[in-house]
Amino acid sequence: MNIIITGAGKGIGFETAKHASESPNNKVLVICRNILEINKLKRENVKSVEFDLSNIDSYSDLSSIISDYFHSGIDVLINNAGQFLTKSFAETKQGDFEKMLNINLKSPYFLTQALLPFFNKNAHILNISSMGGYQGSLKFPGLSAYSISKGALCTLTEALSAELSELNIKVNALCLGSVSTQMFQEAFPNFEASANAQDMGAYISNFAQTGHLFYNGKILPVSLTIP
Ligand SMILES: NC(=O)c1ccc[n+]([C@@H]2O[C@H](COP(=O)([O-])OP(=O)(O)OC[C@H]3O[C@@H](n4cnc5c(N)ncnc54)[C@H](OP(=O)(O)O)[C@@H]3O)[C@@H](O)[C@H]2O)c1
């Protein structure tokens, strides 16, 4: 399969890319701000593209690199790159809010749009959301901007699954609970995560390659504990 993973410089995205590229049948392209760690894997079936996803105006350059690499089209896009913010509602500035929406919502929206001509039939777009954005879940003080951005990503998933059905493209979201990464440690310094990045990366990689055979437009919680 031809697989794209965003934000694979570290954490869950890195582990997802590592797992997906273990199969020689897969060709993996990762989009990272920092390609140092991923390049250390030295895998022939992994191409790293150094790119800051906040540069949404340059997505057409990115899509030409991607279409040149995948001559036979894209099978899987994993919108994993994300940023986190802990700030009370009262202190959250417009800039903070925009940063959350830019990376967690606008980036998956416009990257998917830029890549639309290159998806194969029965391709799978997998958005990595959060339990914070899962409707009806327990919410935490200080996480309003982050949770809103992830909740909107879930709505985007549902909307695109309907709109892209005529192209036979499936779109799903996984709402992750706690996974031991730099992001989680900064968010909940006194809490032990219920999953590690390696196991979650393997789960996401497997789901991205098979989940579209069983699910479309689904918002799936992947969580053992709260948070
Ligand atoms: N860990 C959890 O408990 C948890 C829970 C729920 C949801 N999630 C979601 O899971 C995803 C992965 O999170 P994680 O825990 O692995 O976090 P992480 O360790 O902070 O990794 C986030 C990745 O996204 C990349 N990224 C951020 N902004 C970017 C940008 N502008 N351009 C390109 N790449 C960018 C980061 O790149 P750099 O290396 O350059 O910073 C990093 O590789 C996120 O969407 C997060 O919201 C995580």
**What average pLDDT is seen over the chain?**
96
Contacts 24+ apart (CB under 8 A), 47-55: 48/8, 53/6, 53/7, 53/81, 53/103, 53/107, 53/111, 54/99, 54/102, 54/103, 54/107
- Tell whether ligand 1 has an atom less than 6 A from the beta carbon of residue 180: no
Residue nearest to atom 17 of ligand 1 (CA): 183
- Counting atoms of ligand 1 from 1, which one is nearest the CA of 102? 31
Quote the ligand 1 centre to 128 CA distance (angstroms). Answer: 9
Decide: 33 in ligand 1 pocket, CB within 6 A: yes
Mean pLDDT of 72-81: 98
Q: In the prediction, which pLDDT does 111 show?
A: 98
Task: Report whether residue 54 contacts ligand 1, using a CB cutoff of 6 Å.
Answer: yes
170 ligand 1 Cβ < 6 A: no
User: For residue 68, which of 95, 49, 92, 43 has the smallest C-alpha distance?
Assistant: 49
Overall number of domains in the chain = 1
- Determine contact, residues 211/204, Cβ cutoff 8 Å: no
Mean pLDDT of all residues in 180-191: 90
The CATH number of the domain holding residue 19 is 3.40.50.720
Check pocket membership of 184 for ligand 1, CB cut-off 6 A.
yes
* Domain membership flag for residue 107: yes
Tell me, using a 6 A CB cutoff, whether residue 227 lines ligand 1: no
92, pLDDT greater than 90: yes
Give me the pLDDT at residue 227, please: 76
Mean pLDDT of 113-136: 97
Identify the pLDDT of residue 138: 94
What pLDDT is attached to residue 33? 96
Instruction: Flag whether pLDDT at 43 surpasses 80.
Output: yes
Distance CA 145, CA 86 (A): 8
Q: Is the pLDDT of residue 186 over 90?
A: no
Whether residue 130 is predicted with pLDDT greater than 90 in this model: the reply is: yes
DSSP code for 178:
-
Does any domain span residue 71?
yes
Whether 227 maps to a domain, the answer reads no
**Burial classification of residue 23, based on how many CB atoms lie within 10 Å of its CB (0-12 exposed, 13-18 middle, 19 or more buried):** middle
Residue 204 is part of which domain span? Answer: 2-222
- What pLDDT does 225 receive? 85
Question: Which residues, other chains included, contact 5 with Cβ-Cβ below 8 Å and sequence gap of 6+?
Answer: 13, 16, 17, 20, 28, 29, 30, 31, 78, 80
Question: Which residues lie below 8 Å from residue 91, measured CB to CB, with a gap of 6+?
Answer: none
29-39 pLDDT per residue, tens: 999 999 999 99
Q: Is 182 in the pocket of ligand 1 (CB under 6 A)?
A: yes
- Residue 171 located in a structural domain: yes
Average pLDDT over every residue of 1-14 = 98
**What's the pTM value of the predicted model, to 2 decimals?**
0.98
Residue 22 φ then ψ, to 5°: -65, -30
Instruction: Please state, in angstroms and rounded to a whole number, the distance separating the CA atoms of residues 195 and 224.
Output: 8
Task: Count the neighbouring beta carbons within 10 Å of the beta carbon of residue 3.
Answer: 27
Contacts for 152 with CB less than 8 Å, ≥ 6 apart: 101, 104, 105, 133
Mutate to test the pocket of ligand 1, among 111, 181, 192 (most ligand atoms within 8 A of CB): 181
pLDDT for position 135: 95
Residue 187 banded pLDDT, cuts 50, 70, 90: confident
C-alpha 13 – ligand 1 centre gap (Å):
7
* Closest residue CA from atom 23 of ligand 1: 7
182 alpha carbon – ligand 1 mean position (Å): 9
* C-alpha 182 chain-centroid distance: 16
pLDDT at position 226 is: 83
> What percent of the chain stands above pLDDT 70?
100
